[in-house]
Structure formats: structure tokens, C-alpha cells
Amino acid sequence: MRRVLQGRRIAEVEVVPDDIVMGSTPPEAFVEAMKGAAVTGIGRKGKYWWIELDRTPWVFGHLGMAGWIRELGAPTTRLREHGNAPLDDKEGRPRFLKLMITAEDGRRIAFTDQRRLARLWLGDDPKSDSRIKELGFDCYDELPSAKDLRTYLMKRKAPIKAILLDQSLFAGIGNWIADETLWHARISPKRSADSLSPKEVERLRSAIEMVMHVAVEAGADSSKYPEDWLFTSRWGGKKGRTDIGGKKIIRETVGGRTTAWVPSVQK
């Protein structure tokens, strides 16, 4: 969205009615808010994003589990959740379309979601938006120092896996990223957050930073992830591989989510 929309005026807007994704806000309200407006910035925190315009209201969204924002006609990486079905229908339109934005130069952005877990709404400012205000620091853009991170963790006795998934603390960490981070940090997902030593917190912070940056640089193309990542072993077949580097992978529920981890490495 930054590449295509930022600094340009919006020429056309198409909104496909969906009262689950958009709630009580009518499609016409999104069109009225965006059409003809200049995009002054694009914001993001965790899976939430917003389009800053030269007037209010602004457009806000959440990706849900399989929401996808892409530039039409440009190279893209589809998520595992999208399967292998064609991206477009017989008329050449994006399947599961919710929002289409055309910039003044003709380039287009499509927001699609086949599972309808994404959300779209209008608001005036992310600083006052109730959903954005509930989020903790963004783990890609705002990761605190190891010292500050330990201060957060020392107050919490829940399993570190559950804490990493808490968006009011770690905005942007999902299930596989939490497991990957703990694998590289050599920390058991069952450890209580307040039990981590300063050195373990340093390892945790470094792992979060590394995993997120590698994934983003790869454009979310998992085929480009390093072979020593747990990601390459946790998927495949019904349950994935049973080991990584000869070490047994355990799959169990921790923090309410299916968790893959290696007890012989993660302590």
C-alpha cells in the first residue's frame, strides 16, 4: 500500500458489501471517505493497518487469519491458507474481494479475505481508535530493549508461549512465529514468563528480531526460510516431520494453541 498509494490521490474505490467484515458501516461510506482523497501515509501495528488521508475519516483494517493485500498485476506471494485455487475469477476479478483501490496512475490494490475474519472500519486517528489502543508494542517496528522486555515479563506468570501471543503485549506475533522464536531462543514454551533470566530474555529478543526480519525480507515466501528453521519441519503431511536435526519435535497445546517444540533443546 505504501508503494502504490502513498503520496497519490485515490481515483476509484470499489467495496463489496459484507456485513461481517464491515459491520454496520455501509459500503458507500468507505467510497465517500476515500474517493478523491490524497493518501498521506500508511500505518500498521501488528495485523492492524490504516490509510491516512488528507481528510477524515481514515480507513482502518485488520487482516484476520487469511486477509491479503496485494497490488494487482505485480508479483506476489500467496499464503498457505489461500490454497492453490486461481487468484481471480472467470472475469479476471480477484476472488473473495472486499476492497479495491485504484490510484491516480491506474495502479490497483485489492484486499481479499476468503474466511471473512478480516475487518474494515472508519475512524479519525489510530491514537484514539479503541482497537489500536489495546495493542502492545509492534514487534517489528517497536521492539523494546532486552532490559525493558524483561520488565514486562517479570510481571507475568503465564507460559511464555501464551504471553508471546498476547497482542496487548506483543503485537504482531502469531502462532508459528512464537514457536520459531522460542526454538531459536532455546526456551521451552511452557516456561513461566517471569522465570526467564536476563540472558534468556536477550536471546528471546534477538530471536524475535531475527525471525521477523528474515520473514519480511523473504516476502513471506516460506521456501526462502533457512533450512534450520522449525517452520520447515512443523508443516507437511498431517503433522509434519517428527524431528529436526535428529531431535524429536513435540506437538501439544500450550497457551491454548497447537505448539511445536523440541524438549531436548528448549529448556
pLDDT in tens, 72-129: 999 887 776 667 778 888 888 899 999 999 999 999 999 999 999 999 999 999 999 9
CB 104 within 8 A of CB 11: yes
For the chain, what is the mean pLDDT? 94
Query: What distance in Å separates the CA atoms of residue 163 and residue 173, rounded to the nearest whole number?
Result: 10
- Average pLDDT, integer, range 54-81: 89
Query: What distance in Å separates the CA atoms of residue 215 and residue 224, rounded to the nearest whole number?
Result: 8
Q: In what order do the strands lie in the sheet with 48-53?
A: 39-45, 48-53, 58-62, 119-123
Query: What distance in Å separates the CA atoms of residue 161 and residue 34, rounded to the nearest whole number?
Result: 39
pLDDT in tens, 105-116: 999 999 999 999
- Average pLDDT, integer, range 20-26: 97
pLDDT of residue 88: 84
Write out the H or E segment, with its range, that includes residue 243. Answer: strand 243-244
- Residue 2 pLDDT > 80: yes
CATH of domain 10-133: 3.20.190.10
Taking the CA atoms of 183, 180, 176 and 155 in sequence, report the sign of the dihedral they define. Answer: positive
- Residue 240 pLDDT > 60: yes
pLDDT of residue 117: 96
Greater model confidence, 48 or 84: 48
CB 250 within 8 A of CB 263: yes
pLDDT of residue 253: 96
Cβ neighbours of residue 83 under 8 Å, at least 6 residues apart? none
Per-residue pLDDT band for 220 (boundaries 50, 70, 90) equals confident
Q: Where are the domains of the chain?
A: 10-133, 137-261
Tell me the residue length of the chain.
Answer: 267
- Average pLDDT, integer, range 23-51: 97
pLDDT of residue 82: 67
Helix and strand counts by DSSP (H, E) for the chain: 7, 14
Query: What distance in Å separates the CA atoms of residue 122 and residue 56, rounded to the nearest whole number?
Result: 9
Q: Which fold has domain 137-261?
A: Helicase, Ruva Protein; domain 3 (1.10.8)
Phi/psi of residue 223, nearest 5 degrees: -70, -15
CB 208 within 8 A of CB 194: no
